[in-house]
């Protein structure tokens, strides 16, 4: 079953672009990692969402994810409330929510122009 992890961060003022650039250059070689996205949720706040083949793959990659985080710790602020610099959650997919079918209609085709062939009767 697929799994996701979501981590919330607050970046120190002035480090926002450096934080984004670091994520653009990361090429993790995690086994079972299907991809992810960094999302700006405010002026200094971000979330990263990762998709995994299964929860086992995600758990196995945690030491590598922490090593990547260690490279960015200096850019991050404490989130407060005893959380530290990250607010991570993860788990298995329990339901998929499909996107609606496209509401766009195909443009109507113009009628074909056909040559009118008329047979002349012999007189």
User: Is 119 inside any structural domain?
Assistant: no
Sheet holding 3-10, edge to edge: 33-40, 45-52, 3-10, 87-92
| pLDDT tens digits in sequence order for the chain, 123 residues long | 899 999 999 999 999 999 999 999 988 889 999 999 999 999 999 999 999 999 999 999 999 999 999 999 999 999 999 999 999 999 999 999 988 887 556 566 666 555 555 555 555
**Nearest-angstrom CA–CA distance, 22 and 24:** 5
DSSP lists the bridge partners of residue 36 as 50
User: Is 71 inside any structural domain?
Assistant: yes
User: Is 78 inside any structural domain?
Assistant: yes
Give the pLDDT score at 28: 83
Instruction: Compute the Cα dihedral for 22, 25, 31, 34 and give only its sign.
Output: positive
User: Is 54 inside any structural domain?
Assistant: yes
Burial (CB count within 10 angstroms: exposed 0-12, middle 13-18, buried 19+), residue 11: buried
Give the pLDDT score at 106: 59
Give the pLDDT score at 102: 76
Burial (CB count within 10 angstroms: exposed 0-12, middle 13-18, buried 19+), residue 77: middle
Q: What is the CATH number of the domain that holds 49?
A: 3.30.70.100
Are 8 and 87 contacting, i.e. CB atoms less than 8 angstroms apart? Answer: yes
User: Is 108 inside any structural domain?
Assistant: no
Q: Which domain holds residue 11?
A: 3-92
Give the pLDDT score at 117: 52
Give the pLDDT score at 29: 87
For the chain, what is the domain count?
1
């Amino acid at each position: 079953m697929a799994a996701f992890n979501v981590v919330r961060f607050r970046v120190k003022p002035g480090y926002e672009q450096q934080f984004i650039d670091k994520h653009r250059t990361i090429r993790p070689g995690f086994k079972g990692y299907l991809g992810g996205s960094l999302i700006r949720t405010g002026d200094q706040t971000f979330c990263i969402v990762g998709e995994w083949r299964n929860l086992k793959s995600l758990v196995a990659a945690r030491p590598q994810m922490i090593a990547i985080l260690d490279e960015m710790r200096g850019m991050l602020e404490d989130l407060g409330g005893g959380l530290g610099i990250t607010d991570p959650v993860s788990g298995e997919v329990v339901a998929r929510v499909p996107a609606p079918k496209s509401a766009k209609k195909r443009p109507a085709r113009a009628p074909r122009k056909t040559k009118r062939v008329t047979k002349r009767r012999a007189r």
